[in-house]
């Protein structure tokens, strides 16, 4: 861990405030402090990447188990009723 | 008029809003023409998530299913008046959460969303024993057991996708609904706060806890995969 860049943010704190960072909810100073830490700390860079990967995988189209035919039937009925109009 | 592009999948580089609005306009036109296949595709796309989100408001899976079906009826009734000022998806989920809240209060099961805390409220995002003691002279609060990089091929595998899905389903209510709406459905923070009736800070706390747990689940799972080079 480099001592060249002054860094008062602990790794333990980084994992607690990472969501504020990713959400863009930090003040410019807080963001600078956070990014400063990342420059010097490879494990925290890994952690941030893991968090980004986690978010990305969450957004993958979920593997559907399928909607029960009875539900589909009920909804199709509702659609046909609506189509017919008042 | 620019032809609409089909938005087939969500990805890290999400389709620009204008593309989604174009696709919505075409879809709504199909629905208004009575296209049943288009309706079933829309149902396939959203129904399970709608049930999952409704589950955060009502007392049972069966009730959540009823709420979701009620919401679809609401969608159809409101479709003629849909002006495309928001995306169709946002609009559908707004109807869903309104139905869920109203059914929740009728069932007298509703709690303010922010009150949906859990025993994991005070859990750290990463086990404390993975960090060096705060009083250490050189590396206070530094990693003692640092995270290992994940190989892309493991990360994007079907197995990992399924694992994440299960991890989301296992989350306490509140966290589950927020991460579903934010990270699975990719709705904005503002929309989600409005739908769930929670503050931005509250939403962020729930999102943080959810994401931390999911990340930990993926890490545990991938740890068994052998060294990634």
Question: What region, left, alpha or beta, does residue B60 occupy, with left being phi > 0 and alpha being psi -120 to 50 degrees?
Answer: beta
pLDDT score recorded for residue B158? 87
Long-range contacts of A77-86 (CB under 8 A, 24+ apart): A78/B69, A78/B72, A78/B73, A78/B76, A79/B36, A79/B39, A79/B76, A80/B36, A82/B73, A82/B76, A82/B77, A82/B79, A83/B34
Cα angle B90-B218-B206, degrees, rounded to a multiple of 5: 45
Contacts of B14 (CB under 8 A, 6+ apart): B186
pLDDT mean values, one per 10 residues, chain B (229 residues): 39 64 92 95 92 86 93 96 91 94 75 53 87 91 95 84 92 90 93 91 96 96 66
Nearest to A19 among B72, B134, B204 (CB): B204
Q: Residue B206 has which token pair?
A: 């729930």
pLDDT score recorded for residue A52? 96
- pTM reported for the whole predicted model: 0.81
**Beta-carbon separation of A50 and B142 below 8 A:** no
pLDDT score recorded for residue B58? 85
Question: What region, left, alpha or beta, does residue B215 occupy, with left being phi > 0 and alpha being psi -120 to 50 degrees?
Answer: alpha
pLDDT score recorded for residue B110? 53
Q: Shortest Cα distance from B105 to chain A (angstroms)?
A: 24
pLDDT score recorded for residue B20? 85
pLDDT in tens, A32-86: 999 999 999 999 999 999 999 999 999 986 666 678 888 999 999 999 999 888 7
pLDDT score recorded for residue A38? 96
Nearest to A74 among B69, B141, B146 (CB): B69
Is the sign of the CA dihedral B217, B223, B224, B228 positive or negative? Answer: positive
Q: What is the ipTM of this complex?
A: 0.85
Is residue A38 a contact partner of residue A21, using CB atoms and an 8 Å limit?
no
**Beta-carbon separation of A79 and B139 below 8 A:** no
Is residue A15 a contact partner of residue B126, using CB atoms and an 8 Å limit?
yes
d(CA A45, CA B147): 9
Is residue A60 a contact partner of residue B186, using CB atoms and an 8 Å limit?
no
Long-range contacts of A70-78 (CB under 8 A, 24+ apart): A71/B47, A71/B65, A71/B69, A72/B40, A72/B43, A74/B69, A75/B39, A75/B40, A75/B43, A75/B47, A75/B69, A75/B72, A76/B36, A76/B39, A76/B40, A78/B69, A78/B72, A78/B73, A78/B76
pLDDT score recorded for residue B5? 39
Contacts of B157 (CB under 8 A, 6+ apart): none
Q: Shortest Cα distance from B141 to chain A (angstroms)?
A: 5
């Amino acid at each position: 861990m480099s001592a060249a860049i002054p860094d008062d943010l602990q790794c333990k704190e980084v994992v607690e405030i990472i969501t504020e960072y990713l959400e863009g909810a930090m003040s410019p100073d807080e963001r600078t402090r956070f990014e400063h830490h990342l420059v010097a700390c490879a494990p925290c860079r890994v952690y941030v990447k893991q968090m980004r990967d986690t978010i990305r995988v969450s957004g993958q189209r979920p593997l559907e188990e399928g909607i029960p035919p009875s539900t589909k039937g009920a909804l199709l009925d509702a659609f046909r009723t609506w189509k017919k109009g008042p | 008029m620019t032809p609409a592009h089909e938005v087939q999948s969500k990805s890290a580089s999400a389709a620009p809003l204008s593309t989604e609005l174009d696709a919505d306009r075409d879809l709504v036109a199909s629905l208004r023409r009575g296209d049943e296949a288009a309706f079933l595709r829309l149902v396939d796309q959203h129904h399970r998530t709608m049930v999952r989100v409704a589950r955060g408001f009502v007392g049972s899976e069966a009730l959540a299913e009823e709420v979701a079906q009620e919401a679809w009826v609401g969608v159809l009734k409101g479709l003629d008046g849909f002006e495309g000022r928001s995306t169709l998806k946002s609009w559908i989920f707004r109807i869903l959460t309104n139905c869920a809240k109203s059914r929740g209060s009728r069932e007298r099961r509703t709690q303010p969303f922010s009150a949906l805390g859990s025993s994991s409220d005070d859990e750290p995002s990463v086990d404390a024993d993975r960090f060096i003691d705060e009083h250490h002279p050189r590396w206070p609060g530094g990693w003692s057991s640092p995270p290992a990089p994940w190989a892309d091929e493991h990360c994007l595998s079907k197995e990992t996708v399924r694992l994440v899905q299960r991890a989301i389903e296992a989350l306490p209510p509140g966290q589950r609904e927020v991460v579903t709406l934010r990270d699975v459905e990719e709705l904005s923070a503002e929309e989600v706060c409005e739908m769930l009736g929670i503050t931005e800070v509250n939403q962020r706390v729930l999102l943080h806890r959810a994401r931390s747990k999911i990340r930990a689940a993926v890490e545990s799972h991938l740890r068994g995969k052998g060294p990634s080079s």
